[in-house]
Amino acid sequence: MRKLFCAFFIIFSFSLFAQEAGLHNPEDTTGLVTGDEAEITGSSESSESPKKDLTQNYLAKSATPVNALGWTQDGKYFATSWNNSVILWNAGANTIAAVYSNSVNENSNPLANVVSLQFTSDGRYMLSVRDDNTVLIHSIGTNSDSTLISGTGKSIPDAVYAGDYRILLPLDGQNLYESFRLAESGQHVIEEKLDVADGIWALSASPTGKRLLMSSESGKVRFIDTTSWEELSSFDRYMLTRIKPRLAPDGIHFVAAQDKNTLVVASALDESDFLTLEDLAGFSYCAEFSSDSSKIVAGINSGCVKIYDIASGLEENSFQLMYGDSAKSLAFSPDDEYVIIGTEQGYIYRWVLSGEDFVPEDERDDSGLQNALVLSLGYSRLNSNYYLGSGVLGVGYRNYFRTPFFWGIQGSLGAGLPGSEFPYSYYEDGESLSSPFVYTTSIGGLIGLVYYNERLDLQVFSEAGLGANVRILYNNSMKYAHSSKPYFGVYGELLVGMQWKWARLWGGVQYDTNLNWLTNVHVGVAMPTRTFKRKKQPVKSTGENKEE
């Protein structure tokens, strides 16, 4: 019983130490290709809408305002305007996948600003609207040249994909046209669809392209069925705002400015379905829906970005940009876990809404397991009655190279505590010396199998290890210290255990060539190795356009 009590005492003490010392899954301050990371916590005046901690990731700095953002529907890529061109980002790693220049032929203006971005539903093509009365269609992941569509009026203020490859745009700056690509020739055919006497200022389409929200320069907003081109409803917007009305992914609700301090979220088909969002500082350039149509993210004139819950009408979270800056473009990721923000001063941020750390895909496998450094405190029951057992301090590394398999290395330092029933005593000059301790150091390797439940962040694993060790007896007397010769040995062990989040518990049996069969138990913490990596330097603007 005394031995069992000692084992539990060691484990319990270490658990308390880990809790008090804050040995939890550490905040990841790395993993981004281009910038600094800081944790931002919103402040709330309402106890009914508790706010989460948000993690801010600075991606890059452009020399021009970031006017446009867009995501592919599968979440694999997102695009941002950048120095009169477009950057395609690998969303899984925050790395640049490609840069699309404005210089596609002699008729294109390399200094034109990008004002709108959108992908086709399959992510194969990207549409960029520019302020020089042109639209560019870029082929993603191929070497095909970009297609240039030139307007016939003074400007093309906006354009959207309606369905897979149909493009709706005010080609003459006033009326609505449809452009579609012929599969065999690749030629774009353009047809006029609607006459709009008061001109077109902004367009927003549902994911299927069957519903269209068309905003005119006069302030009229029209809700249109693109299968029949019938106007289903219309309403007025605040004309002096810079916020373009947006149609929700559900194809029914929309957000628009009612005045400079008020946004209205309403159904285009039901006048009773109506909600207003107010801010005394006023709303700035943009407001966008989440992918599930349950939230609104909006820029505020004070430099804030706020997220609102549509069901309750309450502010769910907020975060402050740099002094004097404001959001020019916003976009939720398809899974609503992130918000990409482009600012007037040219900054590009990625906000992690869950408060968890962003883990680049090159530091995780498909299962979500992360390579980790493991620190542990353990207890080994020796096969001798002369010792209470051995306390072990260990350090190891686990590499999940191909789930469910993993490999690792480990080392340890241990001390065996002598018991009162030690059968003999040492004497020096007539004095009885203390019973000797058994000190051990070991190093070895291991292979294992793991089952991982990503939803619970729970691992169940088994390991087989092989290594070498050195043991030595030492009596710890201050005046008459004595040590034995070193005993070299080889060990093999079989272990099973589980890990939940950062906490790890395991145990098993070991065969040692010096001590024969031993049993052991360990408790520890697993820290992802990405925690210790240095941050990479941010991408700085050079003002030059480069085609990749």
Identify the weakest region by mean pLDDT among 111-115, 329-333, 372-376, 537-541: 537-541
449/470 same-domain check? yes
Instruction: Place 330 in a pLDDT band, splitting at 50, 70 and 90.
Output: very high
Say yes or no to pLDDT of 541 above 80: no
Contact of 417 with 425, CB cutoff 8 Å: no
Mean pLDDT of 376-383: 86
d(CA 116, CA 110): 16
> CATH no. for residue 260?
2.130.10.10
4, containing H or E segment? helix 2-20
**Beta carbons within 8 Å of 388's beta carbon, 6+ residues apart:** 2, 3, 6, 416, 417, 418, 419
Same-domain status, 373 and 427: yes
List the single range of 33-37, 52-56, 287-291 with lowest mean pLDDT: 33-37
Residue 22 in any domain: the answer is yes
How far apart are alpha carbons 72 and 198 in whole angstroms?
32
pTM: 0.61
Is the model more confident about 366 or about 131?
Answer: 131
In this predicted structure, the answer to whether residue 34 has a pLDDT above a threshold of 80 is: no
| Same-domain pairing of 324 and 385 | no
* Residue 65 DSSP class: -
Q: Which residue has the higher pLDDT, 399 or 41?
A: 399
* Res. 379: pLDDT tops 80: yes
Q: Give the range with max mean pLDDT: 105-114, 189-198, 383-392.
A: 189-198
Tracing tokens 């012929």 back to the chain, one arrives at 182
In a domain, residue 140? The reply is no
Lowest mean pLDDT among 209-223, 376-390, 486-500: 376-390
pLDDT at site 152: 87
| Residue located via tokens 């019973």 | 435
Q: Are 277 and 306 in contact (CB under 8 A)?
A: no
Taking alpha carbons only, the member of 516, 525, 428 closest to residue 471 is 516
pLDDT of 16 > 50? The answer is no
Same structural domain for residues 404 and 305? no
Residue-averaged pLDDT of the chain? 80
pLDDT value of residue 532: 66
* CA–CA separation, 295 and 52 (whole Å): 15
Q: Are 503 and 469 members of one domain? A: yes
Structure confidence at residue 511 (pLDDT): 93
Out of 103-107, 317-321, 410-414, 444-448, least confident range: 103-107
Enumerate the H helices of 174-271 as residue ranges.
none
Residue 190 confidence (pLDDT) above 80? yes
What is the model's pLDDT at position 546? 36
Instruction: Assess whether pLDDT exceeds 60 at residue 264.
Output: yes
Q: Are residues 459 and 488 in the same domain?
A: yes
Mean pLDDT on 74-80:
92
Q: Is the predicted pLDDT of residue 51 greater than 80, yes or no?
A: no
Residue-by-residue DSSP string for 94-146: TEEEEEE-S-SSTTS-TTPPEEEEEE-TTSSEEEEEETTTEEEEEETTS-PPP
Q: How far is 217 from 534, CA to CA, in rounded Å? A: 50
Q: Can you tell me which residue has the tokens 């990596």?
A: 533
- Say how far apart CA 268 and CA 535 lie, in whole Å: 47
Q: Return d(Cα 314, Cα 335) in angstroms, integer.
A: 21
446/300 same-domain check: no
Q: Which amino acid is at 389?
A: G
pLDDT tens, residue by residue, 269-312: 887 878 999 999 999 899 999 999 999 999 999 999 999 999 99
Provide the pLDDT for residue 292: 93
- Looking at residue 454, its pLDDT comes to 79
Structure tokens at 418: 């002598």
Q: Judge contact between 357 and 315, C-beta under 8 A.
A: no
Do residue 385 and residue 295 come from a single domain? no
For residue 116, the cross-strand partners are 129
Domain membership flag for residue 187: no
| Most confidently modeled range among 163-172, 206-215, 362-371 | 206-215
pLDDT at 17: 36
- Asked if residue 503 is part of any domain, the answer here is yes
Check residues 407 and 547 and name the one with the higher pLDDT.
Answer: 407
Per-residue pLDDT, 95? 87
Please give the tally of structural domains in the chain.
2
Shared domain for 283 and 376, answered yes or no, is no
Is the same domain home to 406 and 482? yes
Q: What is the pLDDT of residue 536?
A: 42
Question: What is the DSSP-derived secondary structure letter of residue 91?
Answer: T
What per-residue confidence (pLDDT) applies to 386? 65
**Is a pLDDT exceeding 60 seen at residue 168?**
yes
- 291 and 379 co-located in one domain: no
| Distance between CA atoms of residues 163 and 208, nearest Å | 5
Give the distance from CA 77 to its chain's centroid. Answer: 13
CA 203, distance to chain mean position in Å, is 30
pLDDT for 256: 93
Residue 39: predicted pLDDT: 34
CA angle 377/382/384 to nearest 5° reads 155
Helices and strands in the chain, H and E counts: 1, 39
Percent of the chain with pLDDT over 90: 44
**What is the rounded CA–CA span in Å between residue 427 and residue 435?**
10
Burial of 210 (0-12, 13-18, 19+ CB in 10 A): middle
Taking alpha carbons only, the member of 7, 22, 31, 77 closest to residue 359 is 31
Q: How far is CA 406 from CA 6, 151, 173, in A?
A: 32, 58, 60
pLDDT band at 445 (very low <50, low <70, confident <90, very high): very high
Q: Is residue 344 part of a domain?
A: yes
Residue 237 tokens read as 């917007």
Segment 397-404 mean pLDDT:
89
Q: How far apart are CA 541 and CA 548, in angstroms?
A: 16
Look up the CATH number of the domain holding residue 445.
Answer: 2.40.160.20
Same domain, 332 and 464: no
pLDDT of residue 5: 44
Residue 472, in any domain of the structure? yes
Domain that holds residue 269: 39-61+237-358
User: What value, to the nearest 5°, has the Cα angle with vertex 213 and ends 207 and 214?
Assistant: 135
Distances (CA, A) of 124 to 52, 73, 114, 183, 222: 35, 11, 19, 14, 29
Cα–Cα dist 328/114, whole Å: 12
